[in-house]
């Protein structure tokens, strides 16, 4: 008998109403090939579990130091400033169990397909009443293709509506295999210029655009999405390119996801730099302006605030 596939999950969000029709359970898989400057889930980028530290909860008791088998933690005398040697730390989680104030946490855990599906099915009565289902997100769920496919197939066998949220950054072969298992694709388009995409996400967008074209011909329900980041992807040039591309693949609609700083604290917890500095959240007037512009280009446009 084949072993149940496993993968790394960093969150399972119940009772979501923003990631597909009806009431949904969203499973967030860890790992992403992109490094978007505005990413609000920095814990999603690495494919491995990571140790997070929230200094505001720490009282400097030091109870986490001795249990660490790799001696990756240190505490300056008389302070609650915990040092984490992230090269030595293997995110085993032993220190988390030793922390009485829950200042330490592990982002990500390895789960089997069965464990994920059991968690998803807890919400089955809500799906039946609302026309909902399961959405697999990330990170980039296509970063764990075998795990993703196994979850989707198990959910379909259980009679659930399936959806993925993806940037489309993967091979066309992998993408085609996944499309056969989903009813809805929430497809992120960050910025249209290849040069700007490379500068803002660390990768070129040729794979993404090719898969978007494939998606337009697939018969799946498609909902394009764009993170709205004022000053980065809201220029008339980018919006015109976006509108022309969506019309060319026969998907004349776009959902905007306004930029916000809500994930900033997680960068601190992971010891990572926050690349957006003090840039303010996207304002309602930014959303209104961009929606109006895109509607003038013949797109249906709305925002999830």
Q: Where are the domains of the chain?
A: 6-47+110-264+276-303, 50-107
Report CA-CA distances (Å) from 281 to 62, 139, 196.
Answer: 37, 21, 21
Task: Give which of 101, 64, 67, 102 is closest to 82, Cα–Cα.
Answer: 64
Beta strands in the chain (DSSP E): 6-16, 24-29, 50-53, 73-75, 82-84, 104-107, 109-112, 133-137, 161-166, 184-188, 221-228, 253-258, 300-303
Domain 6-47+110-264+276-303 adopts which CATH fold?
Answer: TIM Barrel (3.20.20)
Confidence of residue 305 (pLDDT cuts 50, 70, 90): low
Q: Is the pLDDT of residue 104 over 80?
A: yes
Residue 168's region, left for phi above 0, alpha for psi from -120 to 50, else beta, is: left
As beta bridge partners, residue 193 has none
132-147 pLDDT per residue, tens = 999 999 999 999 999 9
- Do 6-47+110-264+276-303 and 50-107 have matching folds? no
SS3 218: coil
Task: Give which of 255, 31, 27, 29 is closest to 160, Cα–Cα.
Answer: 27
> How far, in whole angstroms, is CA 50 from its chain's centroid?
16
Q: What is the pLDDT of residue 1?
A: 56
Average pLDDT score over residue span 42-53: 97
DSSP 56: G
Q: What is the pLDDT of residue 32?
A: 98
281-294 pLDDT per residue, tens = 999 999 999 999 99
Q: Which CATH number fits domain 50-107: 3.40.640.10, 1.10.490.10, 3.30.70.20, 3.30.450.20?
A: 3.30.70.20
Q: What is the pLDDT of residue 154?
A: 97
Confidence of residue 245 (pLDDT cuts 50, 70, 90): very high
């Amino acid at each position: 008998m084949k072993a149940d596939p496993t993968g790394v999950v960093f969150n399972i969000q119940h009772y979501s109403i923003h990631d597909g029709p009806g009431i949904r359970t969203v499973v967030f898989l860890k790992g992403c090939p992109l490094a978007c400057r505005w990413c609000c889930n920095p814990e999603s980028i690495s494919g491995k579990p990571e140790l997070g530290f929230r200094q505001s909860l720490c009282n400097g008791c030091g109870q986490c130091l001795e249990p660490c088998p790799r001696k990756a933690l240190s505490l300056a005398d008389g302070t609650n400033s915990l040092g984490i040697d992230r090269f030595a730390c293997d995110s085993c989680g032993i220190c988390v169990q030793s922390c009485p104030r829950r200042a330490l946490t592990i982002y990500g855990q390895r789960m089997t397909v069965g464990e994920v599906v059991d968690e998803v099915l807890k919400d089955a009565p809500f799906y039946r009443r609302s026309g909902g289902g399961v959405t697999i997100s990330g990170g980039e769920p296509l970063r764990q293709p075998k795990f993703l496919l196994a979850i989707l197939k198990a959910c379909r066998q259980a009679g659930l509506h399936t959806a993925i949220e993806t940037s489309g950054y993967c091979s066309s072969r992998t993408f085609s295999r996944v499309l056969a298992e989903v009813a809805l694709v929430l497809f992120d388009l960050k910025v249209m210029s290849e040069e700007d995409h490379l500068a803002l996400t660390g990768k070129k967008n040729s794979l993404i655009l090719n898969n978007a074209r494939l998606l337009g011909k697939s018969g799946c329900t498609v909902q394009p999405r764009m993170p709205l980041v004022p000053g980065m992807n809201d220029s008339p040039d980018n919006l015109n390119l976006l509108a022309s591309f969506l019309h060319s693949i026969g998907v004349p609609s776009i959902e905007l996801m306004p930029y916000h700083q809500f994930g900033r604290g997680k960068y601190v917890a992971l010891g990572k730099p926050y690349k957006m500095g003090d840039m303010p959240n996207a304002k309602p007037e930014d959303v209104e302006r961009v929606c109006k512009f895109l509607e003038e280009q013949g797109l249906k446009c709305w925002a999830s605030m």
